[in-house]
Chain A
Amino acid sequence: MNSLTGPMNAGLKRNSRLTPAARLGAHGAGPMDAGRNRNSGRTPAARLAPCGAGLLGAAILALLLSGPGIGQAASFSQIVDIVQPKMVKIYGAGGIQGLESYQSGFLISAEGHVLTVWSYVLDTDLVTVILDDGRKYQAELVGADPRLEIAVLKIEAQDLAHFSLNQAVPIQAGDRVLAFSNLYGVATGDEPSSVLHGNVAATTSLSARRGAFETTYRGNVYVLDAMTNNPGAAGGALTDRRGQLAGILGKELRNSLTNTWLNYAVPAAELVPAVDDILAGKVRPRGDDESARKPLDPVTLQALGIVLVPDVLSKTPPFIDRVIRETPADKAGLRADDLILFVNDRIASSCRAVRDELSYIDRIDEFRLTVQRGQELLDVVLHAER
C-alpha cells in the first residue's frame, strides 16, 4: 500500500494560447470549507489614509509611529500571519511541456478581486482560486493589462482580508522584503503560501535589458536578492518588513544569453492606474454592458481580411491564421501568428470574443487592435472601408 491518492482532478480538457489543441490538466486541489470564515479586520496597525491630500500626512505619521524605537517591532511570524489571509492560490490551464498549471495571487478588495499575473494559466474558463483558509472558488476574469502582464480576477465572496493597492508602499534598494507565493505549487487547500525573505538589490528598468530578457514589460522593477521567481511564484505579493504591499512578483524571466533567472517584482504604484481601469470596467467586453448597442452594419473579420485559427475550443486563443492580401489588415501590417489581445482596449481572449467585440463597431469607424507578436505588443489602427 504505497499509493495514496492525491487531490488531483485528472483528465479535464482545456485549451491554451500556446498549444490550442493540446490536452491540459487542471488542478482541483484542496477542499472548500464554507463553514469557516477567516477574514478581515487583520490589517496592519499602521494603515495609511485612503487617498488624496490626507495621504501625505498620514504616511509620515504612520512612518513615525511604526519607526524604530517606538514599541516592539512585530516578528516576521506575526507579519506572516497578517499577510497570509490575503494570499490566494490560482489553478488553471497548463500542466504540459513544463508549463505549470498554477500561479499565485493576492486579494485587493474585500469583495474578492484578486490581482495576479496575466499568463497562459488564465487561458481557461475554469480558473480556480483557493483562499488561505482553503475555501475554493471559480474565478471570473475581470480584465488584464498585457503591457504590465497583470490580470484581475473576481470571486464571489465577501469580507475578505485584502491589500489595498492605494496603500502600497514604495521601497528602495537595501530595504528588507518578504515574498509570499505558492512557488512550486507546494501548498494546497488551506496550506499557507511560502514566504521568502530578502532585500531589494536595485530599482531599475527592464527595458535596458531588451533582447536579453524575454518580456513585454518595460517599466520599473525591484530586483531582489531572494529567489522569488520560481515556478508558480508569479503573482505573489512582495511586502516590506511590516507586511505592507510593495509589489507583485513578476513572471519567470530568463536571460537567454547567460541562462540566469531574474528575481524581480513590479512596484505596486506602476499597477494602480491599470488596475483602476480594469476595476472600472473599461477593459470588459462590450457584451457585458447591457446598454451597449450594436450597429446595423458592423465590422467583420472578413471585411478586414483576417482569418483566425479554427474555433474548435470553448475559448480558442484568437491567433491570426492568415491575412488576405490587399485588405485593411494587410495594409495595417498584421501578420499570421499575431495574437489578438484587445479590440479598442477591451479584452478579447478568444476567437468568439473577438467576433463579438467587432460586432459593436460600426464599419465606418476607425478602431484599434492590440496584438502580441512574439514578445512585442503592437497597436494597429484599422478601418474596414479603407
Chain B
Amino acid sequence: MTRGLDPRRWSGWLMILVAGMTGAAQAAEVPQTVLDAQQQRIAAIAKASEASISVFARGGGGGGSGVVVTPDGYALTNYHVVKPAGNHMKCSMPDGNLYDAVIVGIDPTGDVALIKLLGREDFPAATLGDSDSVRVGDWCFAVGNPFLLATDFQPTVTYGIVSGVHRYQYPAGTLLEYADCIQTDASINPGNSGGPLFNAAGELIGINGRGSFEKRGRVNVGVGYAISINQIKHFMGYLRSGRIVDHATLGATVTTGEDGQVVVSNILSSSDAARRGLQYADTIVSFGGRSISTVNGFKNVLGIFPKGWRVPLSFRRDGQRYDTYVRLAGVHAREELLAKVQGPAPQPEPQPKPDDGEKKEGDPQRPAPGQPRETPPPMPRPMPAPQPHGGQAEATPPEIAAMIQPKPGYANYYFNALNRTRVWDNFLRGGDFADLDGTWLFEGDLVSGGAVQVTLEQELASGQFNGSAARLDATQDLDQQSGPQGSGGLLAALHVWRRMLLLGPQRFGDVYYLGTVPLVGREGLFDAFVGTHDVIEARFMFHPETGRLAALEFWPDSAVDPCEVYFDDYRDVQGRMLPHHLEVRHGDSVFAELQWKKIDLSQAADGE
C-alpha cells in the first residue's frame, strides 16, 4: 500500500510527539494521586492475600487454591480441587503455617466446595463483596497457587480487569456448570482453581475455576472465569449442611422465540412451575428478580439458586403478565448426583481429563512449553493443578477423624449434625416443650371473621373453623387427611408441629439440616430442617437469630402443593414462647389467617 502524504497521518505523528513531551515532563514527578492509588492497591493486595490459602491434597495428590471466609476457618475452593483430596487436606497460608482442613459440603454442579481449616478461631478472613455490583472494566486481582508455585506458602497475585459479567458457561457433562460467572483477563492458570478473585478494594467477588483454552494449550489466554460470590452466598447455608448439594431446575425448558424473547418450550406437568400456571409458549419476563432477555440470562438465574428455593417468576401470555413464586426442583435425581460424585473424575466426556498432559510431562512447574494440544477440547475447562508427586496417603489423625462422618448423600455428616444441634439449641431458648405431652388447646379468631378452635393431642387433632369441623386421626396415614378443606392439611401440619416441639429433631423421625432458604415475603434467609415422619415430609424454617420457628411446610406428597403455615406474634405461654398469629397458605391462595386469643398446654397425657 503506497499512499501520498495523508494529513491524518501527519496529525497522528504530531500527537505522539506532543504526548511524548508531556509524558517526559510528568515523569520527573509522580502525582500524589498516582502514589496514593498505588498504596491503596498494595494495601488491598496485602489484606486480601492474608486470607488466601493453597490447598494441597494429602500424599501429593495435586492441589489448588482457596480463601478463608470466616474467622473460625471456613474456606471456599473448587469441588474439582478437593475431589482428589478426599475428606481432609492440608492448606497453607501466607503466614507460613500449614493447617489441617476437613471437607464440609460440596456443590459438584457449581464446582464449589466448603472446607474448614482447623486449629484457630482467629483466621484472617476475606470480606465478601457484592458481585452484582461488579462492572466490566473494573480492576480485579486473583490470588492463588498457579502451577503449585506456593511451595514457600506465598501466593501468586495476578492483576487484570473484569472482561465480562453474568457470563454463562455450559456444564462439562452435567456437572461443573459456570452460570452467571465473572470473566477476567487476570491470569488464571492451572492451580488457581478455587482461589479468590478480589475487586480493587480487596473484597471477595468470586472463586476462580475455569478458563477458555481450545487450541492454545492449557495456560491462560486472557479468558478466566470466576464463580460469583453472590451465587455462593445463596449456597453457603447448604454447603455448611455437610451435604452434597444440588442445583435447581424450573421443570421447564426455554428457547429463543421468533422475536428473540425467551419462551417456554417444554414443561413438566408435575413441576411447581406448572402448578403456578406456567404453560408451553409463555414468555419469561423475569426470574429470580432479574429481567430475562436471553436464554443465557435465564440459565444464569437458574444456576445461582440451590434446589428447593422459592424464587419470583414473571411470565406473559396473550399480553397479560403473571407474577408468582416457584419452587425449584433438583437438577439431578439423588442417586444420579451421588453416582457422579463417586465417579472417577469431575470432567466427563468429551473433555479430556485436565491432568493428563502434565502428569506425563513430569515437571508441573514448567508445563509443556511450545507443546499445545493437538486436539482442542471443545469447551472452557476447569483448572485443577497438576499432581507433582506420587505418594501414599497418610493415616488420618484422631482429632481430625472425629470431625469426619461419612454418610451417603453427605460430604461430611458431622457438619449436618452440628448444625441440627445448633439450630435446635437456639430454638430451645424460647422454651422446652418436651414434657408437655398432653392436650394442647387453641382458641381464637379468623382475621376474615369467625371463631377458630383447635385441639392437638397425641393421636388426634380436631378443629372448628368458622363453624365447620375437621378432624385428623394420627394413627392413620397423614397424607390422606388434608382437612380442613382447602388448607392442604392444616390439622396434619399442626400435628407435625406439636410432634417436633415435643420430640425434637432427634426423635421426630429422620430429620436433617437442609441449609438456609428464603421465605416468601420475609427478609433474609432461614435455617431449614427437613423431617420425614410416617409417609409425609415436613420442612421447618427457623429464624437465624431468634431461633423461633418462622414457617412450616407440610408435604403429603412431593407432587402436590404443601400446606404452608407462617408463625408470628410470639408470646409467652406458661413460660414458653408460642406464636399467636398464623397465616395458612395453600397453592396460590391464603387459606386463613388465625389469631389465637387463648392457648392452653396441658401437661398430663390423658390415657396414654
Q: Which residues of A contact B (CB under 8 A)?
A: 1-7, 28-34, 52-53, 55-56, 59-60, 63, 67-69, 75-80, 84, 98, 134, 136, 147-148, 166, 169-170, 172, 178, 183-184, 186-198, 219, 226-228, 230-231, 258-261, 269-270, 272-273
Residues from 277 to 304 in B contacting A, C-beta threshold 8 Å: 293-299, 302
Shortest CB–CB separation between residue B367 and chain A, in angstroms? 14
The answer, among B18, B22, B220, B293, for a CB contact under 8 Å with A134, is B293
Residues from 238 to 268 in B contacting A, C-beta threshold 8 Å: 249, 251, 253-257, 259-262, 265, 268
Q: Are B137 and A80 in contact (CB under 8 A)?
A: yes
Q: Are A195 and B137 in contact (CB under 8 A)?
A: yes
Residues from 49 to 72 in B contacting A, C-beta threshold 8 Å: none
The answer, among B16, B26, B174, B370, for a CB contact under 8 Å with A260, is B370
Q: Which of B137, B160, B332 has the most CB of A within 10 A?
A: B137
**Given A1-B268, A80-B135, A189-B294: A32 in contact with B163 (beta carbons within 8 A):** no
Q: Are B370 and A1 in contact (CB under 8 A)?
A: no
The answer, among A33, A63, A76, for a CB contact under 8 Å with B19, is A63
Q: Are A4 and B299 in contact (CB under 8 A)?
A: yes
Q: Which of A1, A52, A198, A273 has the most CB of B within 10 A?
A: A1
The answer, among B11, B161, B183, B185, for a CB contact under 8 Å with A59, is B11
Question: Chain B contact residues (Cβ within 8 angstroms of A): what range?
Answer: 35 or more
Q: Are A194 and B164 in contact (CB under 8 A)?
A: yes
Q: Are A60 and B216 in contact (CB under 8 A)?
A: no
- Determine the distance from Cα of A190 to Cα of B171 in the docked complex, in whole angstroms: 22
**Given A189-B260, A230-B222: A33 in contact with B293 (beta carbons within 8 A):** yes
Shortest CB–CB separation between residue A55 and chain B, in angstroms? 5
Q: Are A77 and B260 in contact (CB under 8 A)?
A: no
| Residues of B with C-beta under 8 A to A56 | 7, 10-11, 14
Shortest CB–CB separation between residue A77 and chain B, in angstroms? 4
- Determine the distance from Cα of A361 to Cα of B335 in the docked complex, in whole angstroms: 73
| Residues of B with C-beta under 8 A to A261 | 216
B503 beta carbon closer than 8 Å to chain A: no
Shortest CB–CB separation between residue B129 and chain A, in angstroms? 15
B522 beta carbon closer than 8 Å to chain A: no
Q: Are A60 and B14 in contact (CB under 8 A)?
A: yes
Shortest CB–CB separation between residue B579 and chain A, in angstroms? 37
Cross-chain pairs A/B with CB under 8 angstroms, 8 sampled: A1-B251, A32-B260, A34-B259, A55-B8, A68-B22, A147-B1, A178-B137, A260-B370
Residues from 18 to 61 in B contacting A, C-beta threshold 8 Å: 18-19, 22, 26, 31
B160: nearest residue on chain A (CB-CB)?
A: A197
Q: Are A227 and B221 in contact (CB under 8 A)?
A: yes
Q: Are B370 and A258 in contact (CB under 8 A)?
A: yes
- Determine the distance from Cα of A169 to Cα of B380 in the docked complex, in whole angstroms: 35
Q: Are B295 and A4 in contact (CB under 8 A)?
A: yes
Q: Are B293 and A169 in contact (CB under 8 A)?
A: no
- Determine the distance from Cα of A270 to Cα of B1 in the docked complex, in whole angstroms: 9
A32: nearest residue on chain B (CB-CB)?
A: B260
Among all A-B residue pairs, the 6 with the closest Cβ atoms:
A31-B260, A227-B222, A76-B137, A170-B12, A77-B137, A7-B256
The answer, among A55, A147, A227, A273, for a CB contact under 8 Å with B185, is A227
- Determine the distance from Cα of A3 to Cα of B223 in the docked complex, in whole angstroms: 25
| Residues of B with C-beta under 8 A to A67 | 22
Q: Are B259 and A31 in contact (CB under 8 A)?
A: yes
Q: Which of B19, B183, B260 has the most CB of A within 10 A?
A: B260
Interface residues of chain A: helix, strand, loop or mixed (majority): loop
- Determine the distance from Cα of A7 to Cα of B332 in the docked complex, in whole angstroms: 23
**Given A5-B254, A56-B11, A79-B137: A197 in contact with B185 (beta carbons within 8 A):** yes
B479 beta carbon closer than 8 Å to chain A: no
**Given A31-B256, A55-B7, A189-B293: A183 in contact with B14 (beta carbons within 8 A):** no
| Residues of A with C-beta under 8 A to B138 | 75-77
- Determine the distance from Cα of A68 to Cα of B23 in the docked complex, in whole angstroms: 10
Shortest CB–CB separation between residue B353 and chain A, in angstroms? 21
**Given A31-B259, A227-B222: A272 in contact with B8 (beta carbons within 8 A):** yes
B422 beta carbon closer than 8 Å to chain A: no
| Residues of B with C-beta under 8 A to A259 | 370-372
Given contacts A60-B14, A259-B370, 6 further A-B contacts (CB under 8 A): A4-B302, A77-B136, A170-B9, A184-B223, A197-B161, A219-B1
Q: Are A196 and B296 in contact (CB under 8 A)?
A: no
B216: nearest residue on chain A (CB-CB)?
A: A261
A58: nearest residue on chain B (CB-CB)?
A: B11
- Determine the distance from Cα of A226 to Cα of B296 in the docked complex, in whole angstroms: 27
Q: Are B136 and A195 in contact (CB under 8 A)?
A: yes
Interface residues of chain B: helix, strand, loop or mixed (majority): mixed
Shortest CB–CB separation between residue A146 and chain B, in angstroms? 13
- Determine the distance from Cα of A172 to Cα of B12 in the docked complex, in whole angstroms: 10
The answer, among A5, A166, A183, for a CB contact under 8 Å with B255, is A5
Q: Which residues of B contact A (CB under 8 A)?
A: 1, 3, 6-16, 18-19, 22, 26, 31, 135-139, 160-164, 166-167, 171, 174, 183, 185, 212, 214-216, 220-223, 249, 251, 253-257, 259-262, 265, 268, 293-299, 302, 329, 331-332, 370-372, 376, 380
B109: nearest residue on chain A (CB-CB)?
A: A2
**Given A4-B299, A190-B294: A75 in contact with B137 (beta carbons within 8 A):** yes
- Determine the distance from Cα of A330 to Cα of B3 in the docked complex, in whole angstroms: 33
- Determine the distance from Cα of A184 to Cα of B332 in the docked complex, in whole angstroms: 29
The answer, among B166, B212, B215, B262, for a CB contact under 8 Å with A183, is B212
| Residues of B with C-beta under 8 A to A170 | 9, 12-13, 15-16
A35: nearest residue on chain B (CB-CB)?
A: B259
| Residues of A with C-beta under 8 A to B260 | 30-33, 134, 136, 189
Q: Are B265 and A5 in contact (CB under 8 A)?
A: yes
Q: Are A192 and B164 in contact (CB under 8 A)?
A: yes
Q: Are B293 and A269 in contact (CB under 8 A)?
A: no
- Determine the distance from Cα of A76 to Cα of B162 in the docked complex, in whole angstroms: 10
| Residues of B with C-beta under 8 A to A186 | 164, 167, 183, 212, 223
The answer, among B22, B223, B249, B261, for a CB contact under 8 Å with A1, is B249
Q: Which of A98, A170, A219 has the most CB of B within 10 A?
A: A170
| Residues of A with C-beta under 8 A to B253 | 1, 3-5
| Residues of A with C-beta under 8 A to B7 | 52-53, 55-56
- Determine the distance from Cα of A79 to Cα of B262 in the docked complex, in whole angstroms: 30
Q: Are B11 and A195 in contact (CB under 8 A)?
A: no
- Determine the distance from Cα of A32 to Cα of B258 in the docked complex, in whole angstroms: 8
| Residues of B with C-beta under 8 A to A59 | 11, 14-15
Q: Which of B1, B26, B257 has the most CB of A within 10 A?
A: B1
- Determine the distance from Cα of A280 to Cα of B256 in the docked complex, in whole angstroms: 38
- Determine the distance from Cα of A273 to Cα of B293 in the docked complex, in whole angstroms: 39
| Residues of B with C-beta under 8 A to A194 | 163-164, 183, 223
- Determine the distance from Cα of A183 to Cα of B223 in the docked complex, in whole angstroms: 9
Q: Are A230 and B294 in contact (CB under 8 A)?
A: no
Q: Are B293 and A188 in contact (CB under 8 A)?
A: no
- Determine the distance from Cα of A258 to Cα of B371 in the docked complex, in whole angstroms: 9
Q: Are B259 and A184 in contact (CB under 8 A)?
A: no
**Given A59-B11, A186-B167, A195-B163: A76 in contact with B222 (beta carbons within 8 A):** no
- Determine the distance from Cα of A32 to Cα of B105 in the docked complex, in whole angstroms: 42
Q: Are A4 and B163 in contact (CB under 8 A)?
A: no
Q: Are B214 and A231 in contact (CB under 8 A)?
A: yes
| Residues of A with C-beta under 8 A to B161 | 76, 195-197
Q: Are A1 and B256 in contact (CB under 8 A)?
A: no
B222: nearest residue on chain A (CB-CB)?
A: A227
- Determine the distance from Cα of A28 to Cα of B332 in the docked complex, in whole angstroms: 30
Q: Are A190 and B293 in contact (CB under 8 A)?
A: yes
Shortest CB–CB separation between residue B160 and chain A, in angstroms? 7
| Residues of B with C-beta under 8 A to A187 | 164, 167
The answer, among A52, A63, A76, A191, for a CB contact under 8 Å with B294, is A191
